[in-house]
Amino acid sequence: IPAMGEIAQGMVRDVLNAYASRDQQLAVDVIERDEKLDNFYNSIFRNLVSHMMENPATISSAAQLLFVARNLERIGDHATNVAEMVFYAATGRYFTDRGFIEDGEK
C-alpha cells in the first residue's frame, strides 16, 4: 500500500505540472502509470481476500486496508482523467485506450 501511495502521489504531482505547462508528454506518462496502480490494487485485493478467508479474525483490519487501496486506486483514476483533459487541451485530440483520436473521429 505505501508503494501505491507513492505512485498515486507522483501521478497527482505530475498531472498538476502537466496542467500548468500543458505538457502533453507528461500527461501521457501519467495515463500510462494508471495501469501499474490498477495492477497493484488487483494484487492487494486478491491477497487480502485470501488472507481474510484463511483467518476470519483479520476481516475488519483487512477490509480497512482494502478501502485504503481502493481510494488510492481512485486517486490514480482521477489523475488520469485530468491528464486526458490536459492532453486534449494541448493537442486538440482525445486520448483513448488505443492512443489518441482526432476531434470528431469515433
Reported pTM? 0.85
Q: What's residue 66's pLDDT?
A: 96
- For residue 70, what are the domain limits? 2-102
Rounded Cα–Cα distance for residues 53 and 51 (Å)? 5
What separation in angstroms does the CA of 29 have from each of 23, 64, 67? 10, 30, 26
CA distance 69 to 44: 8
Number of domains composing the chain: 1
Domain at 85, CATH number: 1.20.58.220
pLDDT digits (tens, 9 = 90+) for 44-67: 999 999 999 999 999 999 999 999
Helix (H) or strand (E) holding 28: helix 24-54
pLDDT tens by residue, 72-106: 999 999 999 999 999 999 999 998 765 655 555 54
pLDDT at site 44? 96
